[in-house]
Amino acid sequence: MLTYSSEAWILTEKTINKINVFERKILRQILGPKREGENWRIRYNHEIYQQYKDPPLSDFIKLQKLRWAGNVIRMENNRLPQKALNSKIFGKKPVGKPRK
């Protein structure tokens, strides 16, 4: 459910970091703490990735975006996503910050 329509998301470094932090938080809850002797501690990131063999969630989202782009490229030219991809924008953008 987290990645629903993720192919349309705009990924910045900040959002990628937030997604990866969220994923590690969930995996820490699933895997639980690690026992060292008589003490318990939170698992380190590299320990989580060693146990969880799948690539990070942000990589999965990037692959979904590439797959969707491939589907759009193969679409017929009369389809709306293909038209949006191939359209040209005319006119000038106003200079400066938008007014309220």
* Residue 49, in any domain of the structure: yes
Range of the structural domain that residue 55 is part of: 13-75
* Residue 86, in any domain of the structure: no
Question: Cα(49)–Cα(74) distance, rounded to whole angstroms?
Answer: 36
Our count of domains for the chain comes to: 1
Task: Name which of 51, 77, 63 is nearest 9 in CA terms.
Answer: 63
* Residue 88, in any domain of the structure: no
- DSSP readout, 15-83? HHHHHHHHHHHHHHHHH--EEETTEEEPPPHHHHHHH--SPPHHHHHHHHHHHHHHHHHHS-TTSHHHH
* Residue 6, in any domain of the structure: no
- Tens digit of pLDDT at every position of the chain (100 positions): 788 888 888 899 999 999 999 999 999 999 888 888 889 988 888 889 888 888 889 999 999 999 999 999 999 999 998 888 888 888 888 888 888 7
Q: Which amino acid is at 57?
A: L
- The pTM assigned to this predicted structure is 0.72
* Residue 29, in any domain of the structure: yes
* Residue 80, in any domain of the structure: no
Q: Which two tokens stand for residue 71?
A: 């589907």
